[in-house]
Amino acid sequence: MLKTWKSSTPLAIVALIGITVIWGWSFTIIKRAITKIPVMDFLSLQFAVAVLAMVILRPTCFKNISLRDIRRGIILGALLGLAYIMQTFGLRTTPAAVSGFITGMSVVFTPVIAWLILHDGIYLKTWLSVALATIGLALLSLHGWSFGRGELLTLGCAILFALYIVGLGKWSAEHDSYKLAVVQLGTAAVICLIAAAPEGIVMPPDTSVWIAVGIIAILATALAYLVQTWAQSLISPTHTAVIMTMEPVFAGVFAVALGHERLTVRLIAGAICVLAAMFIIRIKSNVRKSRKW
């Protein structure tokens, strides 16, 4: 039974969609918390608490860990941490909606990088799916446009996220998901802490922020990246990137449900485009095959 669910591609897809639900919901929690604590300090705590929780849950997670586990985990964690940092600094001069759209452009970069690095084929259905996902992202998040230093940093963030997805797709099948996730998140925590240090480390000022840190660290970080690490051992990088575009869909759903936004034709059309992209990429989709470097 355990081997069956561990190798179930449909279950991996459902789990990834579930993670996008958590990420979409987490926007409302993070938005409130960062009014009381700098974003970079929140990120540092988010990753650090996530690692702490994973180590407490499984104290033996570092037992028999190999140099390859550590090396590859550090590479992936560095990509993840730097992506978050570039997105955060980009947000200082970039509207949140534009930042969300540009970050989501990782769905475009992922198949290109997979083709360049892994020599994965790019098929017509792939481009159709990517195009629909991009249109959906634009409808969901774009309300005006500008391009400057902030947008350039955010574009770099999207490329790093795409590299992360491709790298994780390449290596995840060859490693224990738990060990690889812990090393990744630990590396991201160190990088974010270094980035936050020059402006001084600010701790959460009250219980509400600590609760927010705990929720985001355990659900949206530890659980989320553990699931993604496992799921990408079964799902191709491009398919993963398309599924990730569901995050702004669920963010919109929660925004409407909580009364922060109105349900508009634009939001509905965007969601339909993203769902269509997911359906197309699943047509005769190949299960990811393990490769070795």
Q: 3-class secondary structure for the chain? A: CHHHHHCCHHHHHHHHHHHHHHHHHHHHHHHHHCCCCCHHHHHHHHHHHHHHHHHHHCCCCCCCCCHHHHHHHHHHHHHHHHHHHHHHHHCCCCCHHHHHHHHHCHHHHHHHHHHHHHCCCCCHHHHHHHHHHHHHHHHHHCCCCCCCHHHHHHHHHHHHHHHHHHHHHHHHHHCCHHHHHHHHHHHHHHHHHHHHHHHCCCCCCCHHHHHHHHHHHHHHHHHHHHHHHHHCCCCCHHHHHHHHCHHHHHHHHHHHHCCCCCCCHHHHHHHHHHHHHHHHHHCCCCCCCCCCC
Residue 191: pLDDT over 80: yes
For 289: left if phi > 0, alpha if psi spans -120 to 50, otherwise beta; the answer is beta
Lowest mean pLDDT among 146-150, 179-183, 216-220: 146-150
Q: What is the pLDDT, as a whole number, of residue 291?
A: 39
How many whole angstroms separate alpha carbon 118 and alpha carbon 121?
Answer: 9
Does residue 270 belong to any structural domain of this protein?
yes
How many whole angstroms separate alpha carbon 201 and alpha carbon 194?
Answer: 10
Rounded mean pLDDT, 67-89: 92
Residue 293: pLDDT over 50: no
Residue 78 burial (10 A CB sphere; 0-12, 13-18, 19+): middle
Nearest to 83 by CA among 43, 32, 46, 52: 43
Q: What is the pLDDT, as a whole number, of residue 239?
A: 86
Does residue 5 belong to any structural domain of this protein?
no
Q: What is the pLDDT, as a whole number, of residue 192?
A: 93
pLDDT band per the 50, 70, 90 thresholds, residue 97: low
Does residue 92 belong to any structural domain of this protein?
yes
Q: What does the pLDDT look like over 134-167, one tens digit per residue?
A: 888 777 766 655 566 777 888 888 899 999 999 9
Lowest mean pLDDT among 121-125, 139-143, 212-216: 139-143
Lowest mean pLDDT among 118-132, 171-185, 213-227, 279-293: 279-293
Report the share of the chain in percent with pLDDT over 90: 36
Higher pLDDT, 39 or 144: 39
pLDDT band per the 50, 70, 90 thresholds, residue 287: very low
Residue 288: pLDDT over 50: no
Structure tokens at 11: 């279950």
How many whole angstroms separate alpha carbon 221 and alpha carbon 128?
Answer: 30
Q: What is the pLDDT, as a whole number, of residue 150?
A: 74
How many whole angstroms separate alpha carbon 20 and alpha carbon 136?
Answer: 15
- Domain that includes residue 96, residue range: 19-282
Does residue 70 belong to any structural domain of this protein?
yes
Number of domains composing the chain:
1
Residue 92 burial (10 A CB sphere; 0-12, 13-18, 19+): exposed
Does residue 152 belong to any structural domain of this protein?
yes
Q: What is the pLDDT, as a whole number, of residue 277?
A: 82
How many whole angstroms separate alpha carbon 158 and alpha carbon 105?
Answer: 6
Higher pLDDT, 10 or 214: 214
Report the chain's mean pLDDT, rounded to a whole number. Answer: 83
Full-model pTM = 0.84
Higher pLDDT, 169 or 108: 169
Does residue 60 belong to any structural domain of this protein?
yes
Does residue 7 belong to any structural domain of this protein?
no
Does residue 292 belong to any structural domain of this protein?
no
Residue 121 burial (10 A CB sphere; 0-12, 13-18, 19+): exposed
Q: What is the pLDDT, as a whole number, of residue 290?
A: 40
